[in-house]
Amino acid sequence: MNSPIYLDYNATAPVRPEAIEAVTTAMKQTGNPSSIHTYGRSARRLVEDARAEIASLMGTKPARIVFTSGGTEANNLALRGAERSRVLISSIEHDSVLQVHEGAIRIPVDTHGRIDLNALEDLLSVDPENTLVSVMMANNETGVLQPVKEIVSLAHAKGALVHCDAVQAAGKTDINCEELNMDFTTISSHKMGGPQGAGALILGKGLEIKSQQLGGGQERRRRGGTENVPGIAGFGVAARLSREGLAEIQEKSYLRDAMEQKMLAAAPGARVFGAEVERVPNTTTITMPGVPSDTQLMVLDLEGYAVSSGSACSSGKVQTSHVLKAMGADEKTAGEAIRISTGWASTDTDLDQFADAWIALFKRKGERPD
């Protein structure tokens, strides 16, 4: 059997061949970037070249980029290292934001999954100068984009800082950190076709962060520990290719839209989450009425499609997606949703073929309204 068609880029993207080459080349090279001899300097060059590529993708200056072990660490670094005692987070954040501060206050979202700006404004009226707001740019399950510019201006007007988890937005939508003016921005290599285990926190102009990894002065004392040189080298290449491929990913959103229309037309009662608002071009979360998401995943996997569900499986227990619930979905609806996400190696026919398999499954097992 051929390998299943991979439609789970939001979990992790296949590593781009050029990134694999950069990682392998870097691994064959000896050198700690902190050493001053020739070997050290050439390792340093790999790190700094990658930093420049990432700065160019994100519209920022290289010196503001702090390399980390991934998105999770960058989110933790921002939420802890900003040293603000009051933390406001949206109710649809990734666990690596949700679980950092037990006392974080939740900002609600509407049925489209966009944060309620009035609620944010009210929350910002209390102790804003000790407040950090953390809102993701694009949601990992629905792809819904947040009004980051408005969020930043509301927060800054009151003296609060803003962290933005842009892990699922980088390489899928144009981001200019300088213009958007976030104070801290998180990105991750493996979501854009780089290796796993590399990421970055981008600091806003003039901002600093308290290092959470002590014991080394690396990354301008913002993150101790020898840099993951091969991972960073691959990350840099993935960032360059993501920048170069941005226009194409955006143009191809018509393929996603066509797939959704075909599925919705064939399955009365199906719902695409966030369909009415702006989303990144690669993500769909759709329900199949009457068919639990784990059944869909298993059948579709057997038929040659790798997709995922919003439900997270932790400690052996499947939990309903907190994102879909926050958007007003009931348990049953949220439990019938699957996520389809594409990326750099997807072909023009993947989604149309997938839609046919999904529709055939609905016809066999789905529930029609009376």
Q: Which residue lies nearer to ligand PLP by CB, 232 or 359?
A: 232
Report the C-alpha gap between 70 and 223 in whole angstroms: 12
CA 108-285-342 angle, 5° bins: 120
Q: Which residue of the set 214, 258, 313, 318 is catalytic?
A: 313
Task: Determine contact, residues 97/146, Cβ cutoff 8 Å.
Answer: no
* Contact status: 70 vs ligand PLP (CB under 6 A): yes
Report the C-alpha gap between 305 and 14 in whole angstroms: 15
**Least distance between ligand PLP and beta carbon 156 (Å):** 23
Report the C-alpha gap between 307 and 11 in whole angstroms: 9
Task: Identify whether 313 is a catalytic site residue.
Answer: yes
Residue from 31, 33, 71, 195 that binds ligand PLP (CB under 6 A)? 71
**Least distance between ligand PLP and beta carbon 140 (Å):** 3
Q: Which residue lies nearer to ligand PLP by CB, 20 or 264?
A: 20
Residue from 64, 84, 86, 94 that binds ligand PLP (CB under 6 A)? 94
Report the C-alpha gap between 7 and 241 in whole angstroms: 20
Q: Which residue lies nearer to ligand PLP by CB, 199 or 310?
A: 199
**Least distance between ligand PLP and beta carbon 162 (Å):** 16
Q: Which of residues 165-224 bind ligand PLP (CB under 6 A)?
A: 165, 167-168, 188, 190, 199
Task: Determine contact, residues 270/263, Cβ cutoff 8 Å.
Answer: yes
Residue from 15, 23, 57, 72 that binds ligand PLP (CB under 6 A)? 72
Dihedral sign computed on CA atoms, order 67, 71, 77, 82: positive
Q: Which of residues 114-173 bind ligand PLP (CB under 6 A)?
A: 136, 140, 165, 167-168
Residue with tokens 């301008």: 220
What is residue 154's three-state secondary structure? helix
* Contact status: 343 vs ligand PLP (CB under 6 A): no
Residue of 330, 343, 338 whose CA lies nearest to 362: 338
Task: Determine contact, residues 135/146, Cβ cutoff 8 Å.
Answer: yes
* Contact status: 53 vs ligand PLP (CB under 6 A): no
Residue of 120, 68, 123, 79 whose CA lies nearest to 101: 79
Q: Which residue lies nearer to ligand PLP by CB, 340 or 355?
A: 340
The number of residues making up the chain comes to 370
Q: Which residues does residue 106 pair with via DSSP β-bridges, in sequence order?
A: 89
Q: Which residue lies nearer to ligand PLP by CB, 188 or 296?
A: 188
Report the C-alpha gap between 162 and 173 in whole angstroms: 19
Determine which helix (DSSP H) or strand (DSSP E) holds 341, and give its type and residue range: strand 337-341
Q: What pairing do the DSSP bridges indicate for beta strands 317-319 and 312-314?
A: antiparallel
What is the contact mask toward ligand PLP in residues 261 to 300, using x (rule: CB under 6 A)?
----------------------------------------
Q: Which residue lies nearer to ligand PLP by CB, 79 or 334?
A: 79
**Least distance between ligand PLP and beta carbon 10 (Å):** 6
- Using CB under 6 A as the binding criterion, the count of chain residues that bind ligand PLP stands at 14
**Least distance between ligand PLP and beta carbon 368 (Å):** 34
Q: Which residues bind ligand PLP (CB under 6 A)?
A: 70-72, 75, 94, 96, 136, 140, 165, 167-168, 188, 190, 199
Residues with a known catalytic role: 313
